[in-house]
Every structure is written in C-alpha cells, then in structure tokens.
Amino acid sequence: MTHQEEREYLGHTLTYIQQKKTELVSIPNYTGEDITKLAIEDHRVRTIAALRRAAEEPYFGRIDFTEENGTDKAYYIGKSGIENDKGGDPLVIDWRAPVASLFYGFSGGEELAYYVAPEGIIEGEIQLKRNIVIRQADIQRIVDTFVRGETSSSGGDEFLLYRLGEHKDDRLRDIVSTIQAEQNDIIRKEKNRPLFIQGVAGSGKTTVALHRLAFLLYEYREQLNAKRMIIFAPNAMFLNYISNVLPELGVGDIQQSTFIDWALSQMDVSFPLENEAERLMNVFETSSDEKNEASTLGSLATYKSIDAFATTHAQVSLQQLFDAGEGRHLTVEELANWTVDDGMPLARRKERFLQRVKHWIDEQAKWMDPPQARDFKKTAKQKLRTYSKHWPSTDPLSVYLYYLKEHAPTEWIRISETKTLTRADIAPLLHLHYRLHGIPKEHRFDHTVIDEAQDCSPYQLAVLNEVTRRKSFTVLGDLAQGIYGEEGVQSWSALEEVFGDTDTTLSVMQRSYRSTFEIITFANQFLKQMPGIETLAEPVFRSGNAVEVIKVKAAETFKVLAEWISTMQTKQAETLVILTRSSSEAKVIHQILHQAGQTTTLVSAEDTSYEGGISIMPVYLAKGLEFDAVLMWNVSQANYPEDARHAKLMYVGCTRALHELTLLYDGTPSPLLIESL
Ligand SMILES: Nc1ncnc2c1ncn2[C@@H]1O[C@H](COP(=O)(O)OP(=O)(O)OP(=O)(O)O)[C@@H](O)[C@H]1O
C-alpha cells in the first residue's frame, strides 16, 4: 500500500518535472542587456539545472505534520524545491526551507514539534517521518523512521546506519537525506556571528560546512553571491576530494581554495614559496625542535605589530624640493599638501601624487615655446621618476623585509639568504599588500568557511577578517588533529581573539559518523593521551569487525600486505589505504607491491587529485580523507614514540577508516597502544 501510494506521487512529480523542463527549455535564450530580463534568464537556467538534477532523485524524505489548527500536510523534501505552477502546495520542499527543519530536528520523542516560518512559529504534531531512496527515478527503498503510535519507531537511526554502512568511492558525498539534529542546528546558525566548531574526527565537519554554505545561499539569497563565498581547505588533494559536494547541492559557483593559493593569487611576490613536499618532510620526518618560528609569525601580536608598522610606513614626509628644471620647482611645503595621509592606501596616494605633479609640469610648460616645452616636459618627467623614489616602498615584500630587519632579524636573515618564502610569510605579505594597495571591492567575501582550522594561524584569520564582510565566518576543526604543532592553534580562543569584542559561538560535535563503533573506541585511546583533550568521540552504534593489531617480521612484509589487500577486497572494500609514518616508507611499500604486479597509487604532497582504489601515503597526508579500509604500517615504538604529536598522528590515521582498521608493527609496538595489546 505504502509503495503504491509513493509510486503514484513519484510518477506525478516526475511527469511535472518533465513538462516543466520541456517548457523552460523551449524558451529562447536571452542574450541582451536588460537587467530584469537577464535575472529572469538566470532564473530559467538555474531552474532547468535543478529540474535536471531532480529528474533522477526528486526527493529523499517525507514528513507528515498536523498543524495546531488541525491541517494535515505531507511534505516531500528534496535537494531543490519544486513549485507547483498549477496551484496548490509545492511538490517538493527544498531541504533548506524552514519546514524541512522538522525532518532533521525530529528524533521521535517530542510530543510537539515546530518550525520557524517567515510568519512566525508553526507548532504541530509529526505523524510520519519517512526516508525514500530513489535512484534513476525509481523507488529503491522506503524506511519509516517514525510513525505516530508505533513504539518501534527509531526516529532515524536505522536509515542513518544503512547509509553509513555504504562503501565509499573517491569523492565525499552530500548527506541531505540524513543530516542529524546537531548538524542541522549548525548548518542553520545565523550568518553574521563568527561560528567556531570543534568536532571529533568523522563528526561531519567538512560535510556540514559545505551544507551550511548551500543553506546560507538559500536563506540569504537576496544578500549573498555564491562567487563571493569561499571554503578554505588545507591542500589541493583534499579540495579535489570534496569538489563534488557543492555542485551536487546546486551551488557549484562557491569558491574552494587553499589559503596559500588564494593569497598568492591576490598579489605578485617575487620570491618563490618553499617546496611543499620538503616542508612536510621537515615538519614530520626530521626530529628538529625548532618549530616556533611559524607560531610567532602567525600570531595576532605579530599581525598588530605589522599593522602598526604599515601605518608608520605610510606616513610620507618629503624632505627635498622637487626641481623640475628651467628654474621651476615645488617646495617641500607645497609637496606636503599633496602627500597628506587621508586614509587612502599608500600606492594609490603615490599614484595620485604623481598625477598631480605631472599635471603641474604640463601647466608650467604651457608658458614655454613648443620645443622648449617638449624638452622641459621630458626632463621634468625623468626627474619625477627619480624623485618618486623618495616615496616609501609600495612593494609588500620590501616592506616586510624592512619590518623583519627591525623586529625579527632571524627571519630577515632566513629570507635574505634563501630568497625563498615559507608559508608563514604569506599572511603578513598579503596583509601588507592590502595595507599598501587596498582591497578591491570584488575581492571581498560575503561568507568565509575555514576547514581544518586547527592548522590556521591567528594571522591568517585576521587577514581573512579584513576581506570578509560582517565577520561572517564558519571556522571548523579538531584540536586533536593539530598535527602541525606550533604552526596551528592549541585552543579556539587563540582564533576567537581575532574578532576582539565581537561575540562568537563555539559549537561542539562529539558524535562520530564515519567509523564503526570498534574503530572509534580504539581511536579514543589516543585522545586520552593528549593534554587538554577532555571528551572522547561518541560512536554511532554501527558495529563492525574488531580492530586488528598484528606483529610482523620484516621478511614477511609482502605476504602480509598481499593478504590484507585480498581480504579487504573480498569484504567489498573499494577504497584502501596503507598509511606509513614517512614518505620513504611509502615509496618502499609501493615498490614492493609494484614488483609483485599489484596496482597501487603512491600519494605525495604534490598530488592534486585523489583517485580512490588502493593508495599508499604518509599518514600526515591523509588528514581529511577517508577509506573503507586502513592499514597503519609499522606502528612501532620508533615510528610512534610516546608524545602528544604522535598520539595525534595515530588518531588521524586510525580515524580515516570507515569499516576496517588493521595495524602492523615490527619489533616493539608503540607505547601509545595502551589498550589494544
Ligand atoms: N548525518 C550524516 N549522515 C550520513 N553520513 C554522515 C553524516 N555526517 C557525517 N557523515 C559521514 O561521515 C564521514 C565524515 O564526514 P566528514 O569528513 O565531513 O567529517 P569531519 O568531521 O570533517 O572528519 P575529519 O575531521 O576526520 O576530517 C563522511 O563520510 C560523511 O559522509
């Protein structure tokens, strides 16, 4: 009965979608310049795209709601809303609409439910919450997670577990059909108060951030422009991994970048950036303790100090008159009127000054014979070029070096000698670039998301705060995954401070969705060994195989690896990874498997895309990614000694696994394995 009723509704909806699409496609393109017609054309194109997406899977859920006044309504929830031109209620409600909150916020227990509509709070009683899996326009599965009066209703867990049990390919996916109540709250938080989210590994931070962008764009469509919204993530491979979600949600125009790539696209800097692979090797594979330099450069104190330096630097005081030749000159007093600091960036003031002097030269020449005037103008303009050198530099790198020479001589020597920049230099350089040249209007953001924000420096955030309107930020991360140590932050307050007196919100996500109960429980032992981490990850009760910790001898390496791969493949694992402590170990394993005819992908810091299949990479490159099966290679005492940094690396590695986790070691196991041997 249920299926029949749902089949009819689906048939009816698909017919409508088809008709509407045909009707809209038949309207000729508008290519003129009338703004109203262009807006209508834009709407037409977007609607066709949304209908095309909806034709395969128009909705995924249904909620039956009895309003206080007794009206019964059935709402079908999908990725895009589908209006009904022929009158009546929409056929499908957009998942971001206020009423869809009922679907996400309801966990089965509440007597009364409500949502906040534009006209006020609407209260009522939920009768039914149903998940409907549609693939290629066909109903595959119906799961009722709540039916009023039935005591067995789970409120959503059964369907969530079904979804979490699926195997993953090479791309992160949207979760519109199973967004959980605590995630829904975060997605829908207000726009203009900086929002910080501390979430355990696998709690859905990246996914929630992407859904929040789509939500904000819907909720504030009159104020926001997708092209002026951005998500910053740590590296190109991770960006590639998440690249499908925003287009799937119909908001593909939102920018996605790393901080460094974006910053370098804003300015010209003559020195190259250090090699990324070498940097990572330095951070993770050498045992140097000199890791404080980035934390000083990345601090808010340095931001303030450089800001004050830029202000002083921009005060122009010309001490020499400008002699244009032929007895004409501008006095120091006259020049001072043209150099006043009226708040305009230095480079623009300099440009304005030069224009004025050029104009003055032309005026002087008016009283001369033409040949004399020509010679005078030529000479005077040459002299002006020489004179302009009395202006302070407008090159960010030069100004940065002046600053360092005075305030941080070690850094000055580093750059002067190597003629190479580190990542920590980029935020100060962009800051100076903005101070010297200003921020073009079109470079400002309406909303900025920072993922993996535990690795973001306060300085970076302060610079982003300059380009982001109304402090509209979502900042997400996990302090327990702060594997860069001093380069990132040790507490969220270090980043919150950037916003000064502005109120910020800190939300916490403790439930972990990625991994099985066994894997999360296992990984929690590493959280317990990190100073300052008080709460553990809470598993969703999805049980799987036990985590295996196995001792192997070096001579058996290949045999063990081959067995692991074939066992995982028989378990239908599609994405497998071998995580090593170092890049050299990863190369050796890749070589061994290659010689045995096994195709694997060796992932390095330079890679910009993630291909799925069987990958081998150093553990520090796996942050943000996930795999059906993970093999932690050689978790020996030498590779993972007992300290917070290695506990974090171990935590990151183990929490990459969705379904299967195996750890191998040769010799003495890591002392961090306190509960598993
Ligand atoms: N509500 C949900 N329904 C279904 N899947 C979910 C849900 N929330 C999270 N997931 C899944 O959990 C996994 C982890 O999500 P995500 O990568 O966004 O987490 P994260 O907190 O950013 O993790 P990490 O910090 O470890 O990188 C993904 O596979 C995601 O699809």
3-state SS record for 634-660: CCECCCCCCCHHHHHHHHHHHCCEEEE
- Asked whether residue 11 is marked as a ligand-binding residue, the answer is no
CB atoms within 10 A of CB 249: 23
The protein residue whose alpha carbon is closest to atom 27 in ligand 1 is 624
The protein residue whose alpha carbon is closest to atom 25 in ligand 1 is 201
Please list every protein residue whose CB sits less than 6 Å from any atom of ligand 1: 160, 163-164, 173, 175, 178-180, 183, 199, 201-207, 478, 481, 513-514, 624, 626, 655
Is the pLDDT at 56 greater than 50, yes or no? yes
In this prediction, residue 194 has a pLDDT band, given cuts at 50, 70 and 90, of: very high
Is the pLDDT at 641 greater than 70, yes or no? yes
pLDDT tens, 412-429?
A: 999 999 999 999 999 999
Chain centre distance of CA 612: 21
- Asked whether residue 383 is marked as a ligand-binding residue, the answer is no
CA distance 581 to 587: 11
Share of the chain above pLDDT 70, in %: 97
Is the pLDDT at 1 greater than 60, yes or no? no
Q: Confirm or reject CATH 2.60.130.10 for domain 184-280+440-512, answering yes or no.
A: no
Q: At a CB cut-off of 8 Å and minimum separation 6, what does 158 contact?
A: 143, 145
Tell me how long the chain is.
677
pLDDT of res. 535: 86
Is the pLDDT at 156 greater than 70, yes or no? no
Is the pLDDT at 557 greater than 60, yes or no? yes
CA distance 540 to 158: 11
pLDDT of res. 85: 78
234 C-alpha to ligand 1 centroid (Å): 17
CA distance 118 to 129: 23
Is the pLDDT at 164 greater than 50, yes or no? yes
Q: Report, as an integer, the average pLDDT of 35-46.
A: 90
Q: What is the DSSP letter of 554?
A: G
pLDDT of res. 215: 96
CA distance 369 to 164: 86
pLDDT of res. 22: 94
Q: Report, as an integer, the average pLDDT of 71-89.
A: 89
pLDDT of res. 290: 47
Is the pLDDT at 237 greater than 50, yes or no? yes
Whole-model pTM: value is 0.92
Q: Report, as an integer, the average pLDDT of 111-117.
A: 84
Q: Which two tokens stand for residue 173?
A: 């996916």
pLDDT of res. 292: 46
Domain with CATH 3.40.50.300 in the chain: 184-280+440-512, 517-665
Report DSSP letters for 113-143, one per residue. Answer: EEEEETTEEEEEEEEEEEEEEEETTEEEEEE
Q: Report, as an integer, the average pLDDT of 312-326.
A: 89
- Asked whether residue 201 is marked as a ligand-binding residue, the answer is yes
Query: Ligand 1: which of 508, 514, 540 to mutate, judged by most atoms within 8 Å of the beta carbon?
Result: 514
Q: What is the DSSP letter of 273?
A: B
The protein residue whose alpha carbon is closest to atom 30 in ligand 1 is 204
Q: Report, as an integer, the average pLDDT of 26-49.
A: 90
30 C-alpha to ligand 1 centroid (Å): 41
CA distance 471 to 648: 31
Range among 44-53, 90-99, 485-494, 592-601 rated most confident: 90-99
Q: Confirm or reject CATH 3.40.50.1000 for domain 517-665, answering yes or no.
A: no
Is the pLDDT at 169 greater than 80, yes or no? no
Q: Which two tokens stand for residue 51?
A: 């209908």
In this prediction, residue 287 has a pLDDT band, given cuts at 50, 70 and 90, of: low
203 C-alpha to ligand 1 centroid (Å): 5
Using DSSP's 3-state secondary structure scheme, residue 66 falls into strand
In this structure, of 5-14, 136-145, 146-155, 568-577, the range with the lowest mean pLDDT score is 146-155
Q: Where are the beta strands (DSSP E) in 159-297?
A: 195-199, 229-232, 255-257
Is the pLDDT at 406 greater than 60, yes or no? yes
- Are residues 178 and 141 in contact, defined by beta-carbon separation less than 8 angstroms? no
The protein residue whose alpha carbon is closest to atom 28 in ligand 1 is 514
pLDDT tens, 214-234?
A: 999 999 988 999 999 999 998
576 C-alpha to ligand 1 centroid (Å): 18
Return the ligand 1 atom nearest residue 178 CA.
3
- Are residues 282 and 424 in contact, defined by beta-carbon separation less than 8 angstroms? no
Q: Which two tokens stand for residue 609?
A: 């895309």
Is the pLDDT at 171 greater than 90, yes or no? no
625 C-alpha to ligand 1 centroid (Å): 10
- Asked whether residue 200 is marked as a ligand-binding residue, the answer is yes
268-272: which pairs have CB atoms within 8 A and are 24 or more residues apart?
269/396, 269/397, 269/421, 269/429, 270/397, 271/397, 271/415, 271/419, 271/420, 271/421, 272/419, 272/420, 272/421
Is the pLDDT at 487 greater than 90, yes or no? no
In this structure, of 188-202, 367-381, 456-470, the range with the lowest mean pLDDT score is 367-381
CA distance 198 to 139: 37
In this prediction, residue 264 has a pLDDT band, given cuts at 50, 70 and 90, of: very high
End-to-end C-alpha distance for the chain, whole angstroms: 53
Query: Ligand 1: which of 145, 213, 513 to mutate, judged by most atoms within 8 Å of the beta carbon?
Result: 513
Q: At a CB cut-off of 8 Å and minimum separation 6, what does 23 contact?
A: none
Phi and psi angles of residue 532, each rounded to the nearest 5 degrees, phi first: 85, -10
196 C-alpha to ligand 1 centroid (Å): 17
Is the pLDDT at 555 greater than 60, yes or no? yes
- Asked whether residue 203 is marked as a ligand-binding residue, the answer is yes
Q: At a CB cut-off of 8 Å and minimum separation 6, what does 208 contact?
A: 183, 186, 187, 197, 199, 476, 509
Is the pLDDT at 347 greater than 50, yes or no? yes
Return the ligand 1 atom nearest residue 173 CA.
31
Q: What is the DSSP letter of 669?
A: B
559 C-alpha to ligand 1 centroid (Å): 33
Instruction: Render the burial of 456-489: b for 16+ CB within 10 Å, e for the rest.
Output: bbbbbbbbbbebbeebbbbbbbbbbbbbbbbbbb
- Asked whether residue 199 is marked as a ligand-binding residue, the answer is yes
- Asked whether residue 507 is marked as a ligand-binding residue, the answer is no
Q: What angle do CA 579, 611, 253 make, to 5 degrees?
A: 120
Q: Report, as an integer, the average pLDDT of 277-301.
A: 74
204 C-alpha to ligand 1 centroid (Å): 3
Strands 511-512 and 601-602: unpaired
- Asked whether residue 204 is marked as a ligand-binding residue, the answer is yes
172 C-alpha to ligand 1 centroid (Å): 9
In this prediction, residue 84 has a pLDDT band, given cuts at 50, 70 and 90, of: confident
Mean pLDDT rounded to a whole number for the chain: 91
Strand (E) or helix (H) holding 62:
strand 61-67
pLDDT of res. 23: 93
